[in-house]
Amino acid sequence: MEVVKFLEKGPGLALFLGFMVAVLGVVIFLIRRSSKKEYTARIVFPVIFMEIAFVFLIILMGFKKGSANTVGPAVVPLLWIIGIFAFSIILIVKVLLGHEEKDPEWGNIRVAVTYIIFTVLYLIIMQYLGYYIATVLFLIGGMYYLTYRNWKVMISLTAGWLVFSYLAFYKLLYVPLPQGKLISWIFG
């Protein structure tokens, strides 16, 4: 069980997850070159689920066993892991038998991904410049990116949201909104 101890956290975990990603890459590469090319996502999703279940399964081997008359901590998660494997295999078989539709078309994926990046940046900036500045950047920048140009609405909405979050969350509900590391460093 020393192996499990190594794989369950820190560098061992990173190595383990890296390996799983590599396996996924190989799987995608193989499907792309096969006759099921148009079903890539239909197959990749169950494969990802099985990989997640596999990671959990390996870690689960390190759990202590239950004594007589008790159900140990590993039993129930193991049940769910088996379930994930079973249904993933059913889904893959359905694709191979031709019972599945082709992959859905991607829409305007660029906008969606850009917005995900915006949201992540928002969270990061919030920790350095504080909640309010980050929110201003996010809301104004976000609407601007979507080609919205009504400045009256953009500014009043942003200012209104700032005042609302300050009064309702910070003042009334005592939610300690992030002050920002840089800001508190400057202001002491």
Partner 1 sequence: MDLLSNLVTGFGYLAGVQPAVAIVVGVILGILAGAMPGLSPSMGVALLVPFTYKLSPQISLILLGSIYIAANYGGSITAVTINTPGTPSAVVTSFDGYPLTKMGKPGVGLGTSLIASTVGGIIGTIILIFFSVPLARLAVKLHPAEYFALAIFGLATVASLGGKNWAKAFIAAMLGLLINTIGIDPISGVQRFTFGNYKLFDGFALVPALIGLFALSEVFSRMEEYKLEKGVVAKFEKANWPKFMDYWKLKFTILRSSILGTLIGIFPGAGATIAAFLSYDVAKKSSKHPETFGKGNPEGVAAAEAANSSSVGGALVPLLALGIPGSATTAVLIGALMIHDVNPGPLLFVERPDIVYSLFAALLVANAVMLVLGLWGSKLWIKVTIIPKKVLLPSILAISIIGSFAVHYSIFDVASCIGFGIAGWLLKKHGYPAAPIVLGMVLGKLAETNFRRAVLMGGYSVFITRPVSIILLLLAVASFAVPLMQNRKNSSE
Partner 2 sequence: MKKLLIAVLLIALLSVSLFAGGASEGSEASFPTKPIHLIVYTGAGGAGDILSRKFVDIASKYTDATFVVENKAGAGGIVAMEYVKSIPADGYTLMYVTKSNISKLAGASEMNPTAEFDWIAMMQIDPECVITNNKTDVVTWEQVVADAKAKDGKQLWLGPAAGGLDNVTAERIWKAAGIKATWVPFASGGKAKAALLGKQGVTYTGNPGEIIGKPDFSVAAVCLDERLPQFPDVPTFKELGVLGVENEIIWRGFAVKKGTPDAVIAWYDDLFEKVNNDEDWIATYAPKGNKLVHYTRDKFNQIVEEDYKGYLEAFGK
- Applying CB under 8 A, which residues contact partner 2? 130, 132-133, 135-137, 140, 144, 151, 154-155, 158-159, 162, 166, 174, 176, 179, 183-184, 187-188
Site for partner 1 (CB under 8 A): which residue of 19, 29, 45, 151?
Answer: 45
Instruction: For the chain, give percent helix, strand, coil, nearest 5.
Output: 75, 0, 25
Minimum Å gap between C-beta 24 and partner 1 is: 14
52 binds partner 1 (CB under 8 A): yes
| Binding pattern for the stretch 103-122 against partner 1, x by CB under 8 A and - elsewhere | xx-xxxx-xx--xx--xx-x
Task: Classify the phi-psi angles of 174: left when phi > 0, otherwise alpha if psi is within -120 to 50, otherwise beta.
Answer: left
Q: Are 142 and 154 in contact (CB under 8 A)?
A: no
Q: Using CB distances below 5 to 8 A depending on partner kind, what does residue 128 bind out of partner 1, partner 2, none?
A: none
Give 33 or 65: the residue with its C-beta nearer to partner 1: 65
Q: Which amino acid is at 135?
A: T
d(CA 129, CA 78): 44
183 binds partner 1 (CB under 8 A): no
179 binds partner 1 (CB under 8 A): no
72 binds partner 1 (CB under 8 A): yes
